[in-house]
Chains A and B, each alone.
Chain A
Amino acid sequence: MAAASVLALSACGGSAELAAGGAEPDSVGGTRVVVDVEGTEVEVPEAPRRVVTLSEPTLDGVLALGLEPIGTVTGRGQATVPAYLQDVAGDLPVLGSVAQPNFEAIGAAGPDLILVDGTSVNNNPDVIAALREIAPVVYTGYAGGDWRLNFGLTAEALGKEDQAEEIIADYDERAAAIAAELEPEYGDKTFSIVRWQGGGAATILQELPPGAALEDLGLARPPSQDMRGRGHSNPVSLENLEEIDADYMFFGTLGGSSVDNPQAGGSADVEEAESALQTAVETPGFSQLKAYQEGNIIPVDGSAWTSTGGPLLMTRIIEDVREELLR
């Protein structure tokens, strides 16, 4: 490694500071400056090769751009990478959890770029400062922020803006096409997104990616969810259970893991949603819900539907909707 550092040093005087940062890897070429969402000017390699993603949206974004991160963190509420990315990212080294990145494991992986956003590390300057000791850190977005902007900054950090624009355009086109197909039959219906966890329900409001996806598809939400709330899921008291009701209900769960118990396991996939649904039905009042009585509860992958992510997640959601509603 020492030899590699020396080589890197002599090869590019411009990135001397990076090389001094430790495990300077084999990215070739100079550096660029990216201004991240917090306004910090970050000097990143021309073409980063060893990227670590510390949040769901950045992992999703990097994978969408065709790169494989050298390490990432577990998904929200899960002990592994997010379930919806399991097939593409299941083998990636896990370098901590979404709330507590493991600095030493990240350092040992030797990244040349660290991507993180407000959905994992927020308002904790100490954590960002520690990460900046390891490699350049680009903070790509705020929690509950627009996924397109987050993805855009992710792409800019990687030097792949053009590709990102294409991906977003493809998504928009696809969403518009599905929306047109849905309109005749579902134009006057309402759609609820519910996360069932720990014996209770929470609704997903509009600014989380799944809310944005339904909006892109032109699907209406019931009044209690047709709002930009405080940016996250809205816990619903069991005596107000009718607030989760709508003509159709997308129903997911996020396993049992939390900040307090990241190893609780449980999973977030469709099967888990089905078994959570069986518990939910036992709850007084649930079987009176219109969506239940009309057989319109659709179990979905909670890691995609009730958390956060990037273009892969958005595509997954609109395809889920197409498959479920336009069969």
Chain B
Amino acid sequence: MSASSKATPVGTVSHPGQGRSRRHVVLRASGRSLKVERRTLSVCAVMLAVCAGLGTAGLLLGDYPLTVRQVIGYLFGDHTDPLAGFFVREQRLPRVLLAVLVGAALGVSGQVFQSLSGNPLGSPDIIGFTTGSATGAVLQIIVFDAGPAGAAGGALLGGFATALVVYLLAHRGGVSGLRLVLVGIGIGLMLGALNTLLVARASLVAAQTAAQWLAGSLNATTWSQVGLVSAALVLLLPMALVRGRTLTAMTLGDASAAALGIRPERQRLVLVVCGVALVAVATAACGPIAFIALAAPQLARRLTRSSGAGLLPAALMGACLVLGSDILAQRLFAPTQLAVGVVSGTLGGIYLIWLLAMERSRL
């Protein structure tokens, strides 16, 4: 917490002098004002630009040879070659958009849980929520012979059920971060084993479908998927984002948060539900994409050098990471395609090792 000296003291917003400090800017709109660290603002701007850049690359790169001018033409309804139009409008564009949406959802979900647990490892992919979503989907695929839609429903249910179990088991007069992480890792490992068992014991067809789903892929993304995920995020993201300050205050401990006029238990419940829903929706859309929820919030925090729970930076970082991973997944061994979860898992694995080494040297 050595960074706290640099952090925005949340709750002291009313100090008139602070708003004019060089480190902050105050954004005002319709009678509300929001004080933001200058650095956070510029980091967000840069990430937005990177995201736009990667999105453009995602639209331009592909094995169907098209020039930049052609891609732009087909984006805006050129019909000379219907197949090119199909690839640009029905494959590349929804794929890029879904990557952004899913990345943002994972980033925010990761930030919510890491802040609530006060532990960098308290991220939904480490504490079993992602695995639990996967269990739900795999059960659907294998036991009920479900297609993509059924698997998505299973993932939603699985995510919520797992979160409930982990919270109940970790609850002992309040949920301590470390307990949550340890219980979550345990449950996650058990569910991971269950997933493997289900696949091993399934029929060939179902096992294959499940294995492909488990890899986490954006291949064959459709507009209906984009639509469903956007609808969920339109609801969930604002719900989380407006609680950014609350979340930061809660990282100071419940007593301090209560002193600032926050009702910690109630806010925590809303944030937890929001966080679980975000990770479950993301997983439902394209399978488990590893490590984004873990790495995005932390990378964002390192860039903004803020100790607060910056949800927007985490969302943007998540979007950049998933988009970047997916482009790598498509291009690295083209024309052979990797699943995006494989690339993000590899990158995230390297990050996790580094993180563990850092944590260890701190202890």
A residues touching B (Cβ–Cβ < 8 Å)? Answer: 1-2, 20-23, 74, 79, 93-97, 99-100, 102-105, 107-108, 118-119, 122-127, 129-130, 133-134, 142-144, 230-232, 235, 258-263
A96 to B82, Cβ gap below 8 A? no
Distance between B128 CB and nearest chain A CB, rounded to angstroms: 20
Give complex CA distance A127, B221 in Å: 9
Q: Is the interface of A mostly helix, strand, loop or mixed?
A: loop
Interface residues of B in 271-290 (CB under 8 A from A): none
B202 to A96, Cβ gap below 8 A? no
> Which of B18-26, B162-170, B300-308, B332-340 interfaces with chain A?
B332-340
A95 to B81, Cβ gap below 8 A? no
Interface string of B200-227 (1 = CB under 8 A from A): 1111111111011011010110100000
A108 to B205, Cβ gap below 8 A? no
Nearest B residue to A128, CB-CB: B220
Count of B interface residues, CB-CB < 8 Å: 43
A residues near B90, Cβ cutoff 8 Å: 130, 133
For residue B65, CB closer than 8 A to chain A, the reply is yes
B residues near A108, Cβ cutoff 8 Å: 63-65
- CB-contact partner of A95 in B203, B212, B335, under 8 A: B335
A residues near B211, Cβ cutoff 8 Å: 99, 258-259
Given A100-B339, A259-B211, CB of A22 within 8 Å of CB of B205: no
Give complex CA distance A258, B64 in Å: 26
B147 to A125, Cβ gap below 8 A? yes
Give complex CA distance A145, B91 in Å: 31
B212 to A21, Cβ gap below 8 A? no
Interface residues of B in 70-108 (CB under 8 A from A): 80-84, 86-87, 90-91
For residue B192, CB closer than 8 A to chain A, the reply is no
- CB-contact partner of B215 in A21, A124, A235, A260, under 8 A: A260
B212 to A133, Cβ gap below 8 A? no
Given A143-B204, A262-B338, CB of A125 within 8 Å of CB of B148: yes
A104 to B63, Cβ gap below 8 A? yes
Distance between A133 CB and nearest chain B CB, rounded to angstroms: 5
Distance between A211 CB and nearest chain B CB, rounded to angstroms: 12
For residue B264, CB closer than 8 A to chain A, the reply is no
A230 to B63, Cβ gap below 8 A? no
Given A96-B336, A108-B65, A259-B215, CB of A123 within 8 Å of CB of B83: no
B220 to A130, Cβ gap below 8 A? yes
List 5 additional A-B contacts (Cβ < 8 Å) besides A96-B337, A103-B220, A125-B147. Answer: A22-B81, A104-B63, A124-B212, A144-B204, A260-B339
Interface residues of B in 15-74 (CB under 8 A from A): 62-65
Interface residues of B in 140-155 (CB under 8 A from A): 141, 145, 147-148
Given A107-B83, A123-B147, CB of A79 within 8 Å of CB of B336: yes
Give complex CA distance A130, B219 in Å: 10
B residues near A125, Cβ cutoff 8 Å: 147-148
Distance between A60 CB and nearest chain B CB, rounded to angstroms: 18
Q: List 5 A-B pairs, minimum CB-CB distance, nearest first.
A: A22-B83, A231-B204, A232-B204, A104-B64, A105-B63
Given A108-B63, A231-B203, A259-B212, CB of A21 within 8 Å of CB of B82: yes
A127 to B220, Cβ gap below 8 A? yes
Query: In the complex, which of the residues B64, B145, B342 has the most CB atoms of chain A within 10 Å of its own CB atom?
Result: B64
- CB-contact partner of B91 in A103, A230, A261, under 8 A: A103
A22 to B148, Cβ gap below 8 A? no
B337 to A261, Cβ gap below 8 A? no
Distance between A149 CB and nearest chain B CB, rounded to angstroms: 15
A residues near B222, Cβ cutoff 8 Å: 126, 129
Query: In the complex, which of the residues B81, B83, B203, B334 has the most CB atoms of chain A within 10 Å of its own CB atom?
Result: B83
Give complex CA distance A23, B85 in Å: 13
Distance between A293 CB and nearest chain B CB, rounded to angstroms: 29
Interface residues of B in 174-191 (CB under 8 A from A): none
Interface residues of B in 238-297 (CB under 8 A from A): none
